[in-house]
Amino acid sequence: MGKLQRFYLVLLVIATSVGCDQVSKDIARSNLKFAPPMSYLGNTFRLQYAENSGAFLSLGSGLSETARTYLFTFVSGGLLVGLLFYILVNRQFSRRQVIALSLILGGGSGNLIDRILNDGHVIDFMNMGIGSLRTGIFNVADVLIMSGMGLVILFSYLERAMQPAGGPRPNNEDESSKSQAPDIQ
């Protein structure tokens, strides 16, 4: 995959991810903010509005506002820029690896945009579970991040499974220094 193709693929995945995330959060803000939780499929899936000042599952929400701003806006923003650079310059990534990493980048960007526009908060609105066993409240960006991470793990596993039984051949200086004359018979 050429540099320009990679750039456009990353841009497409990020733009689609951020667009879907931000539109879903606008809908949640408009329709769920002052409404009671809505339950579907026997309370397996709930829609309920929440503003999260922490990270995933509200981790870090007890930190001071300054610490949260620094950690969740500036540090995560820097990590996202680093991930973007890594995706664009690493030529060893396959198309599917680029897509998986771009999903993580798109989801992270969606939540970062939320923090910047919503005074350090992220809008969450989905919850799943059975009985008292429930997930935390999450959003489309979180789904994109987790999907991207799952795909990275899956693709790494598949890549290893497809390698020959002996694994990659070690670089042996003695063998590489020998002249390799073709075997003519």
Which listed residue (26, 142, 174, 183) is catalytic? 142
Which listed residue (26, 114, 119, 124) is catalytic? 124
Give the CA distances from residue 139 to residues 5, 22, 62, 97, 115, in Å, rounded to whole numbers and listed in that order: 29, 10, 20, 23, 13
CA atoms within 13 A on the CB side of 77: 13
Q: Is 124 a catalytic residue?
A: yes
- Looking at the DSSP bridge assignments, the partners of residue 126 are 47, 138
Tokens of 122: 């992220």
Q: How far is CA 37 from the centre of its chain?
A: 27
Q: Are 55 and 72 a contacting pair, CB within 8 Å?
A: yes
Instruction: For tokens 């903010």, name the residue.
Output: 33
What residues act catalytically? Answer: 124, 142
